Amino acid sequence: MPKRTLQGVVVSDKQAKTIVVRVDRRFTHPIYKKTIRRSKNYHAHDESNEFKPGDVVWIEESKPISKLKRWVVIRGEHKKSA
């Protein structure tokens, strides 16, 4: 079975070698037929402490690394500074 891959935005990089990634999903409400946005935070392993808040990253499922980390950053795009 292939590993799941999600795209999200970094919201925190305060921990060593760990980032918190917010992943948004959109779906239609079954009764009201209105599009709803829901988000969830994932702790992901960032070996080189490369990513900062605002960066877009892709994370992939992995075996448990710590109590909360089950995802690893596979690639990312740094936020453009104006």
Query: In the chain, where are the structural domains located?
Result: 5-77
Strand-pairing partners, residue 27, are 36
Cβ atoms of 8 and 42 within 8 Å: the answer is yes
Q: What is the mean pLDDT of each run of 10 residues along the chain (82 residues)?
A: 94 97 97 97 96 96 96 92 66
Single-letter amino acid, residue 15: Q
Q: What is the model's pLDDT at position 49?
A: 95
Instruction: Please report where in the chains the tokens 């900062």 appear, as a residue.
Output: 52
Give the pLDDT of residue 80: 79
Correct CATH for 5-77 of 2.40.50.140, 2.80.10.50, 3.30.420.40, 3.40.50.11740: 2.40.50.140
For residue 44, give every residue at least 6 positions away whose Cβ sits within 8 Å of its Cβ, in sequence order, or none: 18, 19, 20, 21, 57, 59, 69, 71, 72, 73
65 contact partners, CB below 8 Å, separation of at least 6: 45, 72
Output the pTM of the full model: 0.89
